[in-house]
Amino acid sequence: MGALRLILGDQLSHTISCLSDCDKQADTILICEVWEEATYVKHHKKKIAFIFSTMRHFAQELTEAGYQVDYIKLDDPGNTGSFTGEVERAIHRHRPEQVVATFPGEYRVLEGMHSWPELFQIDLVIREDERFLCSREDFESWAAGRKQPRMEYFYREMRKRYSILMDGDSPAGDRWNFDAENRLSPSRKLAVPTPYHCEPDAVTREVMALVEDRFADHFGDLSPFGFAVTRTQAFESFALFVKERLPFFGDYQDAMLQAEPWMYHAHCSFYLNCGLLDPLECVRIVEQAYRDGQASLNAAEGFIRQIIGWREYVRGIYWLKMPDYAEENFFETRRSLPAFFWDGDTSMNCMRQCIEETKHNAYAHHIQRLMVIGNFSLLCGLDPDAVNEWYLIVYADAYEWVELPNVSGMILYADGGYLASKPYAASGAYINKMSNYCQSCHYNVKEKTGPQACPFNYLYWDFLHRNREKLHRNPRLAMIYKTLDRMQEQKVKTLQRDADVFLRSLG
């Protein structure tokens, strides 16, 4: 009889909790590609190919290790297209005593799981996802009583808990955070290393053909495809980052260059979020690189903060606040996404670069996501539902637990400041400082109003003006509102007029 052990497409780790006591002779592992998961939003073609290929490679590894694997391909006869349907079919095939699963990454999947005991008259065991360094219960305890649970304080607790970048009881360098040293603009010619690329094998090519056939109307370019699809390959990719990119990551992690989508980033979120890489393992490697003198402290701390700070924090917020968090809309915005979010056909060079690179790579680094595309979405008052769906569609590392808090909390301030202490709004000056996009733009970043003015300039002040009632008491915006108040009335009206003309042009 044994147990039926379900592994989801973002749980591809040999140490995943649902396998911890697996009996290779009696138990069956179920892994299934289902239409419902590939289409509940119309995921980027490259994202679907990446996930299906990693799933198939992982199933092969488990089989070679002696496990009994029941793998369901998308186009297998009888595939019901849903987790619930495939679990039901597997129960009929294998007659297990119980179903064992690891806690999923998305609320809707958990809701579906909770229906299985009654539907199938079977015991369901859902185990904690031990890949994360802070359990949901621990995060809830930490956040209890905090009106605004700030990431910085959570991050410090994680550093101390795991003794990461600590010198005794003190943080390395006597500072917890080196973010202020991670903002160099790309003012000189930078030699960005060639990113990791893995040629598709027969398994990946088969998946790519499937995606091209079944998901032809989905967003994004399928080829070229160069993602790692096994743990070995993912680890090679990470080792290459530590050797070639980490030494420059600290200084230039916020920088953007035209035609350089990968910059000095690790590109490991794909592999962390699907299970190929272990977060604590990666953190320890980067910490050791600092200890060995191979990376500066601001580089190592900047990377580590993203993993044990931000990544763990947003997951904690997601499970703490769902399902209500998905409905947050502090500014009550309803504007639809502009058409150019899908094809990059805009005269704004920064937006064009970031969207075209997203379409091509299913990737953009965090400043492109936050301070270009996200900033634009905030200033224009785009509908949070539409923006959340877009981010979930277009990035290969996007799962709702990480995407929703980043978009609703960090990008759109839709939660009214629960996650972020202020809206991440900026004019064109920020983009000009951190990139070379403005040099090739139709608009002039130094002009504030008029037809040639950078839209970010007048949209920024219009955003502050129209949301004054909701924002003017925020202490971090006090100086900005004083600047707005000193503007002549005619200038404010001109900024509002230009913003209105531009917003109307979006349709």
Amino acid in the structure at residue 389:
E
Q: Is residue 332 part of a domain?
A: no
Q: What is the pLDDT of residues 98-110, one digit of tens each?
A: 999 999 999 999 9
The pLDDT score that the predictor gives to residue 189 is 79
Q: Is residue 448 part of a domain?
A: yes
Task: Based on the fold, state whether residues 176 and 260 are members of the same structural domain.
Answer: yes
| pLDDT bucket at 7, cuts 50 / 70 / 90 | very high
Task: Based on the fold, state whether residues 368 and 489 are members of the same structural domain.
Answer: yes
- Burial tier of 213 (Cβ tally within 10 Å: 0-12, 13-18, 19+): exposed
Task: Based on the fold, state whether residues 235 and 384 are members of the same structural domain.
Answer: no
CATH number of the domain to which 107 belongs: 3.40.50.620
Cis-peptide, bond into residue 224, ω within 30° of zero:
yes
Q: What share of the chain is helix, strand, coil (3-state, %, to 5)?
A: 55, 5, 40
Torsions phi, psi of 72, nearest 5? -110, 115
Task: Based on the fold, state whether residues 240 and 266 are members of the same structural domain.
Answer: yes
Torsions phi, psi of 124, nearest 5? -120, 125
Whole-number Å distance between alpha carbons of 338 and 381: 11
Task: Based on the fold, state whether residues 200 and 261 are members of the same structural domain.
Answer: yes
Whole-number Å distance between alpha carbons of 376 and 407: 12
Query: Helix (H, G, I), strand (E, B), or coil: what is residue 6?
Result: strand
The pLDDT score that the predictor gives to residue 419 is 95
The answer to whether 99 touches 123, Cβ cutoff 8 Å, is: yes
- Burial tier of 503 (Cβ tally within 10 Å: 0-12, 13-18, 19+): middle
Domain hosting residue 71, numbered range: 3-127
CB atoms closer than 10 angstroms to residue 346:
18
Q: Is residue 194 part of a domain?
A: yes
Q: Is residue 38 part of a domain?
A: yes
Q: What is the pLDDT of residues 240-298, one digit of tens each?
A: 999 999 999 999 999 999 999 999 999 999 999 999 999 999 999 999 999 999 999 99
Q: Is residue 259 part of a domain?
A: yes
CATH number of the domain to which 202 belongs: 1.25.40.80
Task: Based on the fold, state whether residues 36 and 140 are members of the same structural domain.
Answer: no
The pLDDT score that the predictor gives to residue 109 is 97
Mean pLDDT, range 121-141, rounded to an integer: 97
Task: Based on the fold, state whether residues 181 and 306 are members of the same structural domain.
Answer: yes
Whole-number Å distance between alpha carbons of 218 and 209: 14
Whole-number Å distance between alpha carbons of 333 and 331: 5
Q: Which two tokens stand for residue 274?
A: 């699907």
The pLDDT score that the predictor gives to residue 207 is 98
Model confidence at 187: pLDDT above 80? no
The answer to whether 394 touches 362, Cβ cutoff 8 Å, is: yes
Model confidence at 482: pLDDT above 90? yes
Model confidence at 179: pLDDT above 90? no
Model confidence at 335: pLDDT above 90? yes
CATH number of the domain to which 486 belongs: 1.10.579.10
The string of DSSP codes covering 387-434 is HHHHHHHH-TT--HHHHHIIIIIIIS-TTSSSS-SS-----HHHHHHH
Task: Based on the fold, state whether residues 395 and 467 are members of the same structural domain.
Answer: yes
Q: Is residue 485 part of a domain?
A: yes
Mean pLDDT, range 402-410, rounded to an integer: 98
Q: Give the up-direction half-sphere exposure of residue 101: CA atoms within 13 A in the CB hemisphere.
A: 23
Q: Is residue 72 part of a domain?
A: yes
| pLDDT bucket at 218, cuts 50 / 70 / 90 | very high
Task: Based on the fold, state whether residues 238 and 354 are members of the same structural domain.
Answer: no
* The last residue of a domain, from among 321, 349, 368: 321
| pLDDT bucket at 2, cuts 50 / 70 / 90 | very high
Q: What is the pLDDT of residues 426-469, one digit of tens each?
A: 999 999 999 999 999 999 999 999 999 999 999 999 999 999 99
For strand 98-102 and strand 123-127, is the pairing parallel, antiparallel, or unpaired?
Answer: parallel
Whole-number Å distance between alpha carbons of 124 and 100: 6
* The last residue of a domain, from among 105, 127, 149: 127
- Burial tier of 271 (Cβ tally within 10 Å: 0-12, 13-18, 19+): buried
| pLDDT bucket at 146, cuts 50 / 70 / 90 | confident
* The last residue of a domain, from among 85, 107, 127: 127
Task: Based on the fold, state whether residues 433 and 488 are members of the same structural domain.
Answer: yes
| pLDDT bucket at 180, cuts 50 / 70 / 90 | confident
Model confidence at 1: pLDDT above 90? no
List residues bridging with 171 in a β-sheet: 166
Q: How many domains does the chain have?
A: 3
Task: Based on the fold, state whether residues 195 and 257 are members of the same structural domain.
Answer: yes
Amino acid in the structure at residue 407:
V
Model confidence at 389: pLDDT above 90? yes
The pLDDT score that the predictor gives to residue 183 is 80
The string of DSSP codes covering 93-161 is HH--SEEEEEPPSSHHHHHHHHTHHHHHT-EEEEE--TTSSS-HHHHHHHHTT-SS--HHHHHHHHHHH
Closest CA to 297 of 371, 353, 247: 247
Task: Based on the fold, state whether residues 232 and 352 are members of the same structural domain.
Answer: no
The pLDDT score that the predictor gives to residue 147 is 84
CA distances from 206 to 8, 200, 223, 468 (A): 20, 9, 13, 54
The pLDDT score that the predictor gives to residue 336 is 97
Q: Is residue 326 part of a domain?
A: no
pTM of the entire structure? 0.96
Model confidence at 175: pLDDT above 80? yes
